[in-house]
Amino acid sequence: MGKIVTTPDAVRSTVERAPQRGPCRRVLMASPAHFTVESAINPWMQDGSGGLNHVDPVRATEQWNALRATYERIAIRVDVIEAPPGLPDFCFAANQSVALPGRVVISRMATEGRRREVPYFEHWYTAHGFAPVHVPDTIERFEGTGDAIIHPGRRLYWGGVGPRTSEAAWEFFAGVADADVIPLKLVDPRFYHLDTCLSLLDERSALYVPAAFDHASRAVIEAAFERLHAVSDADAANFACNAHCPDSRHVLIQQGSRGTTAWLKQAGFVPIELDTSEFMKSGGSVFCLKQELP
Catalytic residue among 151, 193, 229, 250: 193
- Asked if 193 is an active-site residue, the reply is yes
d(CA 294, CA 291): 10
Strand partners, 156: 180
Helix (H) or strand (E) holding 14: helix 8-17
The answer to whether the beta carbons of residues 41 and 111 sit under 8 Å apart is yes
- Asked if 288 is an active-site residue, the reply is yes
Q: For residue 37, which amino acid is it?
A: V
Catalytic residue among 24, 241, 245, 288: 288
Strand partners, 46: 52
**Helix-strand-coil percent breakdown of the chain, rounded to 5?**
35, 25, 45
Q: Give, in order, the Cα–Cα distances in Å from 72 to each of 29, 213, 286.
A: 12, 34, 14
Residue 35: Cβ within 10 Å count? 23
Q: Count of alpha carbons within 13 Å of 22, Cβ hemisphere only?
A: 7
Catalytic residues: 193, 288
